[in-house]
Amino acid sequence: MSSSDPPTDQDDASRINQEASSSTNNETSTPDNKEDEMKRAAARKLIERYFYQLTDGCGNPACKNKYCASSGQLKPLTPDEAAAQAIQLFSQEAILCERHPNKIQRTNNKMDNDHKMLSSDSDESINRKTGLTPNNEILSGNESYIKLNTTNNSTSYLTEQMLYDIIDECESTECYLSLIRKLGEVFSSIENLSRSFQQSDKSSPSEANLDETGLKKEDVRSLEGEKDKDEDSSAETPDGGVLPVDLPSVRRAYSALFKLKTSIFEHSLVNALVTLAGNLQMELPTRKERGNQDDVVNVLLIVFEIPALGSGDFLETALPAICRASEWLPVEVQAKLARIWSGTGRSSLRNILENLQQLVTLRVIVTQFHRDFYVQDENVITSATKLMKILFYANILAGVLESPDLRNEDLSMSMDDSYVAIKLNKTQPPVDPLAAELGVHVLDCRKPYLPFSEFYNEPLSDGVEMDRDFANYKSELGKFSFMNYPFILTPATKMMGLYFDNRIRMYSERRISILQSVTGQPSNPYLRLKVRRDHIIDDALVELEMISMENPNDLKKQLVVEFEGEQGIDEGGVSKEFFQLVIEEIFNPDYAMFTSQSETGTVWFNPTSFESDAQFTLIGIVLGLAIYNNVILAVNFPMVLYRKLLGKRGSFEDLQDWNLTLYNSLKQLLEYNEPDVEEVFMQTFRISYQDVFGSIINYDLKDRGDEINVTQENKYEFVDLYADFLLNKSVEKQFRAFYKGFQMVVDESPLELLFRPEEIEILICGSKNFDFDELESSTEYDGGYTSESQIIKDFWSIVHALSLEDKRKLLQFTTGSDRVPIGGLSRLKLVIARNGPDSDRLPTAHTCFNVLLLPEYSSKEKLKDRLIKAISYSKGFGML
C-alpha cells in the first residue's frame, strides 16, 4: 500500500495497540509540563460544566441551585453572558449540580460552538487561577484524557458521566486508546476502583457534587497547590471510609460500555481485573487490622456488576482470579456484601449467581479429576462456592422472612427424659459465622428471592465424591467439604453424605459389639426386631421401647426385621415391608392417633388422642429409622411438621398447606380494612374445634376470650394466637413424644446441617415425579435379556400405558416401596432378569435388590395379564 492510500480499519487497530503498548515509554513531556497540562485541562472541564449548568441546566426539575437553568430562578443568558458568569462561578467555587442521568446529550455542533465561545474568555481565568503561563498548551480530545488520567492520582477513578464522555470522544475520533488506558488504570487498582461510581454525600451537598470528569471541590483546590488535611475527603465518609457505590449508575455505565464491541476493551479489562485480584489476594489477609474495609466492598460490588463476567476471557481468566482473591474476605465484609446484594443489589443476584454457576460447571467439566486430585481440591470451584454462600444468604435476606423468635423454642429442655435433653444440647449443628453475623437462619425464610433450587449445581453434584467429602467434613485439618455448603448440592447427593454418616455409625456399633463379644459380653451387632404381622404395632412398640430405655445407641445399628413364622433373610426388602405395614397401621383411623385433613390430604396429630406418649415416640423412631436405613415412607404430613422437626414453631403461613380454607378465612380477616370488623366477622378470642367423636370443644386464646372481640387493632394478635394453638399448643404433648423418638435416631447425624424442611420431606416421602422414561433408561438386564429383546420392548410398552395407581403397584412389587426415591426413578437401578422360558408362572421380584424375574412369555397379551395379576396381589406373595 502506498503512503497516499487512506488508512484501513486494520491499520487503525494496529496503531491503537502500538500506542497503548508504547505510550509510557514514549512520554517526552517533563513532569512540570504534564502537571501544568493536567491542571489546565481539569480547570477547562470545570468551567465548561458551569457553562452548561447555566445554559442547559442539570435536568432535575426539582433543582434548588440558583445558578442552574433547571431551577427556574435564573434568567435566560446569551452564550457570551453564560461564558463570563461560568468563569466567575469557577473563581468563586460555586455549587455544581449533579448531572441528571436522563439528560439528553448535546450534539457535537453545539459542543464545538460552546468550546469556541468559552476558549478565549476562559484561558485567562485558567492562567490566573492555576498560575500557568500562556505557553502551556491545553490538551483536547483523547489526549487530554490520557494526560489527565495517567498523571494525577486524584482523578484516577470513574464516574458514569466520565465514562460517557470518554466513549463519546473515542467514537468521534475512532481511537479508543484513552478508554483502554482508563479502564486499565481504574480496574487494576483497589483504591481507584473503590472511589469510582460513588454516591453523593448527602450531608455535605456543596462539597460532594461530582462533575462529569469525576472532580470535586477538593480536587480544584489541589490544582491550586493546596495540601490541607481534607484533601480528597469528599471521596470518604466522616469516619474515613469510602462512600457507597451507586449501583444503578454502575449498571448504566456498563450498559453504555458494552454497547461497544467487546474486542475493543475486553483484553485490557480482563488484564486489569487479574491485576486487581492479585492486589486483593496480597492485601486482604492484612487489611482486617485497618478496620474499615468499605473499599473492598465497593470493589467487589462494581466487579460483579460486569455483564459479561460469565463468558469469554472474563470467565476463563478474570472471574477465577477474583474468586480466589475473595477467599480471604473477613466475615464482616461478607455480611456487608450480603446486605447490599439483598437490597439495592438484589436485581443482580440472578446474574451474579449464574456467572458463578457457569464458572463451577466449566471447571467441573474441563478438569481431569483423579484419585489424588478431587473436586474439593480445585481452588477455583471451592472459592466460587464460598462466594456463592454470600449470595445464598443475600437471597434469604431479600426474600420473605419470619421472626427469629419462632425458632428459639428448645424442645429438649421441655422433655422429661434427661438423657435426651443432655444429648440434644451436646449435638446442636455448628452455627455458620456469616449467618450469625447477619442474624438470620435458613428456617427464617418463608420465601427466598430466588428459588433455592437455582443454587443447585448438578454437574458438581454428580462429580463430587461424597465419601471423600464426608472424610473432609469429619477431618480436623480444616479441609474443604461441600457438606458445609449444602446449598450447592442436590438433595440426592446430600442424601449420599447422610448415607455415609449412617453407615459409618452402623459399622462402628457393629465393631463395638464384636469387641464386647470377644471380652465375654454378648452383644448383637444389629438392631433386630421380631414381629408378628397381625400384631405388628404392639410387637414393634414393645421391642423399640425396651431398646430405647436400655441402650438408645442400639437404634443406630443396622435394622434387621424378621416376621414370625416366615423364612427369609432381611437384605433390605423385609425392612421396607415392615415400615410399610407399620405406617399403614399407625395412620389407620381406628387408632385415632392422627386426623386427616380432607382438603389437603395430609395427616396431623390428634390433639384429643387417648394413645400414650410411647405410641407417638414409636412413630418418631420409625421416621428416624427410615431415614437412617434409607427407606422411603408413604406418609403425608404437612410441611409444618418438617419445620418443627428442625426447631421452627408453626405460624400463620403454615396454615396454607395445613388447612387452606381456614387460612383463606383468616387472610380475609387480615386484609379487611373497614372499621366494622366486629359486626362483619363477629369473632371473639374464643375458638371451637371438634374432637374425634365430633364433640365441640371451646378454647380461649386469652383469659376470658369470649368477652374480647376481634377488632382492627387486635386482629393480627388473634391470628397469631389461633395459628399457635392449632399448630403448637394443642398438640404439644404428642409432638414432644414424636420429636423425642425421632431425635433418638438422628440426633448425631448431619441432617439439620444438610437439609431444609422441604428437602427432608423428599428424603422421607420420596419424589413426586413418576418419570418412567427415567426408569427405563437406567434399567439393566440379565439372564439373556437386552433392551432390544422383544419381551422387553413389550414390557415397557405395557408399563408406559399403565395408570399412575398401577405404576405405583409395579414399584411396590419390584422394589418394596411405591415411592420415587430422592433424585428420581433413575436412582432405583432396576434389573429385569430372564426367569426361564414361556410358562404360566407369574413374575416374581427380589425387592432387596430391585430385581424383577420375568419369564419369556410368548405374547404381549400374556405378559400383560401375568404382570397385572402379580402387581395387584403382591403383598406376601411373589416378593422375596
Residues 546 and 235: their CA atoms lie apart, in Å, by: 72
The string of DSSP letters for 12-77 reads HHHHHHHHHHHTTTS--S-HHHHHHHHHHHHHHHHHHHHHHHHHT--S-TT---TTSGGGS-S---
- Pairing relationship of beta strands 831-834 and 844-846 according to DSSP bridges: unpaired
Query: Helix (H, G, I), strand (E, B), or coil: what is residue 108?
Result: helix
Residues 97 and 114: their CA atoms lie apart, in Å, by: 19
Contact (Cβ atoms closer than 8 angstroms) between residue 643 and residue 757: yes
DSSP structural state of residue 850: T
Helix axes 491-518, 757-765, angle to 10 degrees: 70
Residues 209 and 202: their CA atoms lie apart, in Å, by: 9
Q: Return the C-alpha cell found at 746.
A: 438422628
Q: Is the dihedral of CA 566, 567, 569, 572 positive or negative?
A: negative
Q: Return the C-alpha cell found at 207.
A: 462539597
Q: Cα Rg for the chain, rounded, in angstroms?
A: 36
Burial class (CB in 10 A: 0-12, 13-18, 19+), 121: middle
Residues 333 and 349: their CA atoms lie apart, in Å, by: 17
Please report, for residues 501, 513, 554, 563, 741, the alpha-carbon distance to residue 547 in angstroms, rounded to integers and kept in the order given: 22, 15, 7, 18, 12
The string of DSSP letters for 557-613 reads SPEEEEETT-----SSHHHHHHHHHHHHHHT-TTT-SEEEETTTTEEEE-TT--S-H
Virtual torsion, Cα 232, 233, 239, 244, nearest 10 deg: -70
Alpha helices per DSSP H over 481-535: 491-518
Contact (Cβ atoms closer than 8 angstroms) between residue 686 and residue 701: yes
Contact (Cβ atoms closer than 8 angstroms) between residue 614 and residue 605: no
Helix axes 331-342, 379-397, angle to 10 degrees: 50
Whether 63 is catalytic? no
Contact (Cβ atoms closer than 8 angstroms) between residue 146 and residue 181: yes
Residues 298 and 88: their CA atoms lie apart, in Å, by: 36
Phi, psi (deg, nearest 5) at residue 198: -85, 155
Q: Which of 170, 175, 765, 848 is catalytic?
A: 848
CA nearest to 225, candidates 157, 132, 130, 155:
130
Residues 441 and 431: their CA atoms lie apart, in Å, by: 9
Which residues are catalytically annotated? Answer: 848
